[in-house]
Amino acid sequence: MRNLLITYAIILLLGVGAMVTDVYYLANIAGFISAIGFMIVFFKDRPDDESRMDKKMRRYWYIVFATGLFFSLIFGSLWNTHMGNMI
């Protein structure tokens, strides 16, 4: 649970920091962390008889990483004027 809260705090700080400072790279970093986290949690081998607490924790991890992707899309990609710095 501690790792979950630390990760969530980091993602929230990056997202809010991107919103406050208009530095959209911070939100993109939150999105990168979330994408890697989604891959780790989704592709992790799970036992056949997974406990109720493990399922609950996996759901919490999905919520944390979805928040990071949301921040990345809203504050990283859609708010900057360069759309990925390609222009």
Which amino acid is residue 20, in one-letter code?
V
Residue 77 is encoded by which pair of tokens? 């990609």
**CA 30 to CA 57: how far, in whole Å?**
20
* pTM exceeds 0.85, yes or no: no
Tell me the CB-side half-sphere exposure of residue 74, using CA atoms within 13 A.
Answer: 12
pLDDT in tens, the chain (87 residues): 899 999 999 999 998 888 888 788 888 888 899 999 999 999 988 888 889 999 999 999 999 999 988 888 888 776 666 555 544
